[in-house]
Amino acid sequence: MLLLVGLGNPGKEYAGNRHNIGFMAINEIVRHHSFSSSRTRSRPKGVFSEGMIEEVKVVTLKPLTYMNESGQVVGEALRYWNLESDQIFVIHDELDLAPGKVRAKLGGGDAGHNGLRSITSHIGADYWRIRLGVGHPGEKARVTGHVLHDFTKTDKVWVARTVEAVAEAISLLLTGDAAAFSTQVTLLTQSHTPNRL
């Protein structure tokens, strides 16, 4: 079994934020692969769904804590399902990638991302990161406002294209082939016409 975690903040007021692109990607994976209806659990505290991707059982998780406490829920999920950290794939927004760019790797630092910092503090650093670029506002002082504001109407076109491509290509990453995953996402985003957000 593998665990796919999308990072974001719970609540309707945050649903369209750049910081919530991880939640958006999880929603698309659940839809694209016809996973079970999402259900909320009090422990681990999150919204879960499950299904099969290329004969691998996958559970998705959207933590119901705020971003900077995501690690508590991920740690509980790891222990609940008796997983190793490299069986966990975390999808998150990335300031240091251009909008719509996607990269994946196993392990690494948190690059100032509070959600990743929290997860690392609970399970160590040896989990997969799926980085979805949202662009940098240019000044450090503007970062918080940037990630906690909604995508613009124009942004929503590439956001939809990106999360659909991630959902279509995710099976490649679940086998550990980060390079093939990134390449396929790039090809799909260049040729794909989004049909939803």
> Which position among 19, 33, 92, 113 bears the catalytic label?
19
- 19 in catalytic set: yes
99 Cβ contact list (under 8 Å, min separation 6) = 133, 134, 135, 155, 158
Q: Is 163 helix (H, G, I), strand (E, B) or coil?
A: helix
In whole angstroms, give the CA distance from residue 126 to residue 75: 13
For 138-147, the CB contacts below 8 A with 24+ separation are 143/95, 146/18, 146/95, 147/17, 147/18, 147/19, 147/93, 147/95
d(CA 5, CA 74): 8
Collapsing DSSP to helix, strand or coil, 63 comes out as: strand
**Tally of CB atoms within 10 A around 181:** 23
Neighbour order of strands in the sheet with 2-6:
39-42, 45-53, 56-63, 2-6, 88-94, 128-133, 102-106
CB atoms within 10 A of CB 14: 16
Catalytic residue IDs: 19
